[in-house]
Amino acid sequence: MKKLKNKDKVMMMKGKYKGKISEVIKVFPSTDKALVAKVAMVKRHAKATQNTPGGIQEKERPVSCSSLKLICPRCNEPSRVGFKNLKDSKVRFCKKCGEIV
């Protein structure tokens, strides 16, 4: 099970975007990276096609999951994620308040 999933609220802990709170768009478990909205923006030059105009476009770059912390929905603070085995499934929980995420 992954510590981060799509649509989780996370906070950047390192780099230029340190302290910024945003939402996870996509997780890449094989490389341990995540695509986060409006974080680690890069500019890419695109050639014009029939459907899209050409020009300079800004898009997100994947960031390492080690530089992200999950925002707990109950205590609204960045916290580490733990795992619990319940009767029928494995769930994530906040290590600060113990709430199941």
Count of structural domains, the chain: 1
Instruction: Of 46, 38, 43, 40, give the one whose Cα is nearest residue 9.
Output: 38
Distance CA 95, CA 79 (A): 6
Asked whether residue 52 is domain-assigned, the answer is yes
Asked whether residue 77 is domain-assigned, the answer is no
Asked whether residue 58 is domain-assigned, the answer is yes
- Whichever domain contains 64, its CATH number is 2.30.30.30
Query: pTM higher than 0.95 for the full model?
Result: no
44-64 pLDDT, tens digit per residue, is 999 999 998 999 999 999 999
Q: Which residues of 3-39 are buried (b: 16+ CB within 10 A; e: fewer)?
A: bbeeebebbbeeeebeebebebeebeeeeebbbbeeb
Asked whether residue 4 is domain-assigned, the answer is no
Distance CA 32, CA 19 (A): 20
Asked whether residue 88 is domain-assigned, the answer is no
Residue 54 lies in domain = 9-71
- Band (pLDDT 50/70/90 cuts) for residue 1 is low
Asked whether residue 3 is domain-assigned, the answer is no
Asked whether residue 90 is domain-assigned, the answer is no
